[in-house]
Amino acid sequence: KAGVTQTPRYLIKTRGQQVTLSCSPISGHRSVSWYQQTPGQGLQFLFEYFSETQRNKGNFPGRFSGRQFSNSRSEMNVSTLELGDSALYLCASSLGIRGDSPLHFGNGTRLTVT
């Protein structure tokens, strides 16, 4: 069974631009969550989707948004990029409603904002 797939692996953008990252969960998994990892702040929860509905959101500005499609694939979008948005963005999927099954992570998208 294929794992969680994130695309692209690497991305370089300029301040003020926007970016869209994609995540395909493990087949059969319906929950997708997103995380930002930086050296200073560690791993931080961005948001979580289940059955196309955002169920929870972390403490990030409105420039960070996401969505989930009917096939459980998810995208996250960051608008008006800032230098501080440079980070490793990780997506995870789990089988059911969150809290009752383990998280499985993709390899991440490394975003550099110049």
Partner 1 sequence: GIQVEQSPPDLILQEGANSTLRCNFSDSVNNLQWFHQNPWGQLINLFYIPSGTKQNGRLSATTVATERYSLLYISSSQTTDSGVYFCAVERDTGGFKTIFGAGTRLFVKA
Can you tell me which of 17, 55, 77, 84 binds partner 1, judged by CB under 8 A? 55
Residues written for the chain: 114
Site string for partner 1, 3-22 (x = CB under 8 A): --------------------
Task: Tell me: does residue 104 bind partner 1 (CB under 8 A).
Answer: yes
Q: Which two tokens stand for residue 95?
A: 């089988």
| Interface positions, 17-46, toward partner 1 (CB under 8 A) | 33, 35, 42-45
The answer to whether residues 20 and 73 touch, using CB atoms and an 8 Å cutoff, is: no
Total binding residues for partner 1 by CB under 8 A? 25
Task: Tell me: does residue 90 bind partner 1 (CB under 8 A).
Answer: yes
Task: Tell me: does residue 2 bind partner 1 (CB under 8 A).
Answer: no
Task: Tell me: does residue 89 bind partner 1 (CB under 8 A).
Answer: no
Task: Tell me: does residue 101 bind partner 1 (CB under 8 A).
Answer: yes
Question: Using CA of residue 22, residue 26, residue 28, residue 34, what is the dihedral sign?
Answer: negative
CA atoms within 13 A on the CB side of 1: 9
CA atoms within 13 A on the CB side of 94: 13
